[in-house]
Amino acid sequence: MLIEYINEAVKIARYKKLEDNSWFGDIAGLEGVWANSKTLEDCKKELVEVLEEWLILKIRDNDQIPVINGIDLSIKEVVLM
């Protein structure tokens, strides 16, 4: 499910070429998930790495993770009997 979430998030990523000819990318709704690199390909790779680290921190801290295209990574409380 984590890979599916990342794949869906990358589909809605936005990229733009900056005045210095570098590339900037971010994912709307995922605050702090952005990348900047010399090439578009490197920017895409860096954005995935940033997203992975962001998700690890969100899961570790039990923070809310936005639902993307119906994929919900919220951790449900499990009651053991």
Closest to 37 (Cα-Cα) out of 26, 59, 22, 51:
22
pTM of this structure = 0.88
* All structural domains of the chain with their residue ranges: 2-60
Note the CATH architecture for domain 2-60: 2-Layer Sandwich (3.30)
pLDDT in tens, 11-50: 999 999 999 999 999 999 999 999 999 999 999 999 999 9
pLDDT in tens, 50-81: 999 999 999 999 899 999 999 998 877 767 77
